[in-house]
Amino acid sequence: MKYRAKSVLVFLLTLCSFVYAGKLDTGGYSFIDWTVPHIIEEVKVGYVFDGDTIKTADGQAIRLMGVNTPEIAHPSHGKPHGEPGGEEAKSFAINQIEGKNIILVIDKENTKCIYGRILGLIFYDDENGKQRCFNWELIKTGYGQVLIYSDNRLCIEDDWDTMSTASSRKTPNNFYTLAEQYGAEGLEEEAVKIYQAGLKKFPSEIGFYEELANLYDVLNLPGLEVDAYLACLEKNSDSIEIRRKLAIAYEKMVKAVGWVAKGGYKENAMSEWKKLSGTKYEEEARTHLAMLEK
């Protein structure tokens, strides 16, 4: 089954074409092929049918490109029971986009699916004002699976397949891929949640602790950075690289906290640097110890 373009002219007249390119960062979203000729519209979501189908405030039905969510129950159509995950995907869509103004991107040569619904990508602002692609969010969160037909040219299939595999969270590498994608999109707090979930499933994956520490550094949370390195050392006490990073994290705490608590962190930093005596970091340790002793 393939989607086919239908009456582009009628579609444009019906939707009252108005370009909102200034509101969409087409330089971002590396998983989308922006070289494909496309239309950019702003519409308002009036109603969510299910996870991958919505209705605009002016009555247009939109089917999300590149993704398929489980079916919900349709008793009037002879389907009294929905598929597992269908209601969850619908609830996610309601929470994220229902009632919002969104940006719709349509392939000029593939405007509608075989059921006559507009076929496109949806972009919206989350609760923090960060712009996201809703189709892509369904894939990352695991609420939907990749469904790309040959004429869904806007979706870079390899990227969508990779993210769909990562969203299964079956292996440590899945968690790394997923978290790295969130980080690349400037969603470091989401990446933190992914690694935290990864540790619950793979508590011996040392790299998760280090990646968490790196993210806490980006988020300027030195206390949590210290905690992550301490937890990492519990799993790998012989790692001088982690010990060095812990010492540096303690120094950040010295600068971050008030004078009452500063002494304890200073002592901890000095203690960690002293433990690096006789290692390849000995000279660096001496420099830091001399600075801390002033």
Cα(144)–Cα(69) distance, integer angstroms: 4
What pLDDT, on a 0 to 100 scale, did the predictor assign at position 1? 36
- φ/ψ of 263, rounded to 5, equals -60, -45
Structural domains of the chain in order of their starting residue, each with its CATH number = 1-168 (2.40.50.90), 169-294 (1.25.40.10)
Residue 8 clears pLDDT 50, i.e. is over it: no
Name the average pLDDT for the chain.
88
Note the pTM of the prediction, 2 decimals: 0.84
Cα(263)–Cα(249) distance, integer angstroms: 14
CB 131 within 8 A of CB 187: no
Give the max Cα distance, the chain: 79
What pLDDT, on a 0 to 100 scale, did the predictor assign at position 2? 36
Across 172-200, average pLDDT = 96
What pLDDT, on a 0 to 100 scale, did the predictor assign at position 262? 66
pLDDT tens digits for 123-161?
999 999 999 999 999 999 999 999 998 889 999 999 999
pLDDT tens digits for 244-281?
999 999 999 988 876 555 668 999 999 999 999 999 99
What pLDDT, on a 0 to 100 scale, did the predictor assign at position 113? 79
Across 157-179, average pLDDT = 97
Side-chain half-sphere exposure of 66, counting CA atoms within 13 A: 29
Structure tokens at 34: 């922006």
Q: Which of 141, 145, 160, 144 shows the shortest CA–CA distance to 33?
A: 160
Return the amino acid letter for 53.
T
Structure tokens at 42: 């702003």
Length of the chain in terms of residues written? 294
Residue 86 clears pLDDT 80, i.e. is over it: yes
User: CA dihedral in degrees (286, 266, 195, 156; nearest 10)?
Assistant: -60
Cα(54)–Cα(76) distance, integer angstroms: 19
What pLDDT, on a 0 to 100 scale, did the predictor assign at position 294? 81
Across 33-55, average pLDDT = 95
Give the number of other CB atoms < 10 A from CB of residue 37.
10
Residue 72 clears pLDDT 80, i.e. is over it: yes
**What residue ranges in the chain does DSSP mark as E strands?**
38-50, 53-56, 61-64, 66-68, 101-107, 118-125, 131-133, 145-147
Residue 82 clears pLDDT 90, i.e. is over it: no
If pLDDT is split at 50, 70 and 90, which confidence band does 71 have? Answer: confident
pLDDT tens digits for 46-66?
999 999 999 999 999 999 999
Between strands 66-68 and 61-64, the pairing is unpaired
Across 176-203, average pLDDT = 96
- β-bridge mates for residue 42, sequence order: 103
Structure tokens at 262: 């500063």
Cα(131)–Cα(124) distance, integer angstroms: 5
Structure tokens at 175: 């968690």
